[in-house]
Amino acid sequence: MKRIALLGGMSWESSIEYERVINTAVRERLGGAHSADLLVRSYDFDAIEALQQRGEWDALGELLAGDARRLQEAGGELLVICTNTMHALAPQIEAAIDIPLLHIADATADAVHAAGLHTVALLGTRYTMEMGFYRDRLAETGITALIPDEPDRTLVHDVIYDELVRGIVSPESRAEYLRIIDALVERGAEGVVSGCTEIELLVHEGDLDVPLFPTAKLHALAAVEVALAE
């Protein structure tokens, strides 16, 4: 079993889900009392959020790249960034390490293609929806990602930062998300990518009439596949 290095705590609500999915999958695959071999770097998310809001992406890149190197030096054999948004810094982080970085958009694209779909709704932070790093990576595989118009795009972003990263799961916000998803389906979306790992706390597959692609779960399961590969 390869040792998985997790850059997490962005927020810890999703990082815990990564650990749960990874450990559960390893136990199911190997049986007995097996669990995953993990190294975890968890952050004070308030500091991360402040840097994001100020647009200090270079500082964030230096922080994550440095910690990725330290995880590698501690014995990590595979790096997983436990958040969609911070994959905006994946090239900088990847350049700082010699171990593989498993990109969350790649795991998502594999699942979308396996479902035979080509157009999806993408919900996430403003950074994930508006910056090119995620949609462009999906597009390279032939997948079109639709995002909400304003003011719905701001609503999706604000619910993540004002509620979900603080552990608040509101029925009112769920209803708003479902309304926004319905509008994107009317525009041609065949499925929904929960492009922020915390969204999986709010919207579940049973809430929708189209497939949901829970990126945190897909990413975590992809990490297990690599960790247990011969």
Contact predicate 6/18, CB 8 Å = yes
Burial class (CB in 10 A: 0-12, 13-18, 19+), 178: middle
Instruction: Decide if 148 contacts 158 (C-beta within 8 A).
Output: no
| Residues forming a β-bridge with 69 | none
Q: Are 42 and 117 in contact (CB under 8 A)?
A: no
Contact assessment for residue 194 and residue 121, using Cβ atoms and an 8 Å cutoff: no
Token pair listed for 37: 């071999």
The reply to whether 196 belongs to the active site is: yes
The Cα 132–Cα 178 span in angstroms is 24
Residue of 83, 85, 108, 125 marked active site: 83
* Residue 42, CB-side half-sphere exposure with 13 Å CA sphere: 12
Which of the following is catalytic: 82, 196, 197, 215? 196
* Bridge partners of residue 7, in order along the sequence: 41, 81
Integer Cα distance of 49 and 31 in angstroms: 39
Task: Indicate which residues carry an active-site annotation.
Answer: 83, 196
